[in-house]
Structure 1
């Protein structure tokens, strides 16, 4: 008789994240924490509905992406997940979907683990097998998993579509944050974004060209709910994040 596999548990070094200037539950009202409170609020309204305004379809699936590498999308995805995990009645699943260059566990100071690729490559690996529980009670992580030369193609596969549907419908009360590949690096990134309820496009201040932003937006023009975060701005001293555009 098959036995259930207990979820794996990992400890995130929250003191280390705080020293790096990232959002943590015990980090207080830092500038970054306040910025992500502003960023998350409309995303949560879309995901859960607000008064007479219903929730949007798959609004609990939020992909964080960028035009090109190096704009800070993983940093934003982790901070957004940590910020939403502070809500009283919400759980968060952070998915590393940048399978060619996974960075979520690296940012968190954790070693590689099985994850998304293992589900897509092996029928016997289930979502429950590879989700990592953390010492933040409301935050779980789905790592990218083992490297595979067909990783980007797998993101556009039917298996991925089925997995996204399962996550959206089975965990309707959970917010799922996906750290996606950059939009101008792979066509699969736009395919992944098209299956999300909401898209958060990270734009690096004084580095990302207007042409790159317009081209990235063209790749996700079929997505009805796209928001831009202007990252690494020096408009205000001490703030790495400034600007939220719906």
Structure 2
């Protein structure tokens, strides 16, 4: 880790968190609606209700889950990200409200961190969150949330007539919307690096002053799509699985994104006490 990184151990802060690979949950109703809220679905065709009880059972953060350990953990994680996203004047960061969550290798918990981070930010009183599944080769955000596949990001990039508003999903979490990955495409890397993607990101970043956008990215060392995406983000969060990801892999992943000025690390699933999972946060 570089000298600018600081472990949360310095402040004596490490809390239990349940992060990892979840089983793909089945949809909970027509079009993936969890609670069967027919009135809301009829009023908003792109409305999808998340099964919050099941998410909570899986260790996910939910807005009605109380002061859980997971909720406290992500309050700590989100605070510096929000501070930099809101910076102004000389401290302003280009696309600072665009936050990408990635990892060196698959299975390190990046999707769980992305979803939990988005859920936590959605609890803020004056912020809305758009959660984007940008892992277009192996999309998993909708699976984790218990929703069926939907058109999304790749469809917008492939069809100039399709607006982002046509594919964004509204949810029963007050300030949270979701942009699915959409259809797979063999030219995904080129699409993510295209001018159309740059225009889309600029529009996402500037359209709403109160919006934070969290991207679940592909792993850095497995696909080329991650590099095309990370280079256009204001902030990068890299998830590192303790005792699994090699130091070489971490260094190589950091080397590939060293041009990014604002990199945060989540050291995930460290074993501080027998039988308990912990994480450490680095900024």
TM-score range, shorter chain: over 0.9
Specify the SS of the correspondent of 1:235. strand
1:90 paired residue among 104, 122, 127: 127
Maintained 8 Å contact 1:31/1:239: no
Specify the SS of the correspondent of 2:136. coil
Rate the CA distance shift 1:26–1:62 in 2: closer, same or farther, 3 A.
Answer: same
Write the deviation string for residues 77-105 of structure 1: whole angstroms up to 9, x where unpaired.
00000000000110000000000000000
Specify the SS of the correspondent of 2:272. coil
Alignment of 1:43-62 (within 5 A): 43-49=81-87, 54-62=91-99
**Rounded Cα–Cα distance in structure 1 between residues aligned with 2:68 and 2:104:** 28
**Rounded Cα–Cα distance in structure 1 between residues aligned with 2:238 and 2:180:** 21
Q: 1:110 — aligned with what?
A: 147
**Rounded Cα–Cα distance in structure 2 between residues aligned with 1:239 and 1:110:** 30
Rate the CA distance shift 1:115–1:238 in 2: closer, same or farther, 3 A.
Answer: farther
2:258 is the counterpart of 1:208 = no
**Rounded Cα–Cα distance in structure 2 between residues aligned with 1:162 and 1:59:** 16
Maintained 8 Å contact 2:272/2:278: no
Maintained 8 Å contact 1:229/1:243: yes
Which is worse superposed, 52-61 or 141-150? 52-61
Q: Measure how far apart 1:55 and its partner are.
A: 3.5
Rate the CA distance shift 1:125–1:87 in 2: closer, same or farther, 3 A.
Answer: same
2:75 is the counterpart of 1:37 = yes
Q: Measure how far apart 1:186 and its partner are.
A: 2.0
Q: 2:34 — aligned with what?
A: none
| Structure 1: runs of 5 or more not aligned | none
Rate the CA distance shift 1:48–1:78 in 2: closer, same or farther, 3 A.
Answer: same
Which is worse superposed, 102-111 or 141-150? 141-150
When the two chains are superposed, the root-mean-square deviation of aligned CA atoms in Å is 1.8
Q: Measure how far apart 1:29 and its partner are.
A: 1.5
2:176 paired residue among 134, 139, 150: 139
Rate the CA distance shift 1:46–1:239 in 2: closer, same or farther, 3 A.
Answer: farther
2:279 paired residue among 239, 242, 245: 242
TM-score (norm 1): 0.93
**Rounded Cα–Cα distance in structure 1 between residues aligned with 2:195 and 2:261:** 22
Which is worse superposed, 20-29 or 209-218? 20-29
Maintained 8 Å contact 2:100/2:215: yes
2:59 is the counterpart of 1:21 = yes
Q: Measure how far apart 1:188 and its partner are.
A: 2.6
| Structure 2: runs of 5 or more not aligned | 1-42
**Rounded Cα–Cα distance in structure 1 between residues aligned with 2:73 and 2:280:** 9
Rate the CA distance shift 1:15–1:233 in 2: closer, same or farther, 3 A.
Answer: same
Rate the CA distance shift 1:56–1:237 in 2: closer, same or farther, 3 A.
Answer: farther
Q: Measure how far apart 1:167 and its partner are.
A: 0.5
Q: Measure how far apart 1:242 and its partner are.
A: 1.7
Maintained 8 Å contact 1:200/1:228: yes
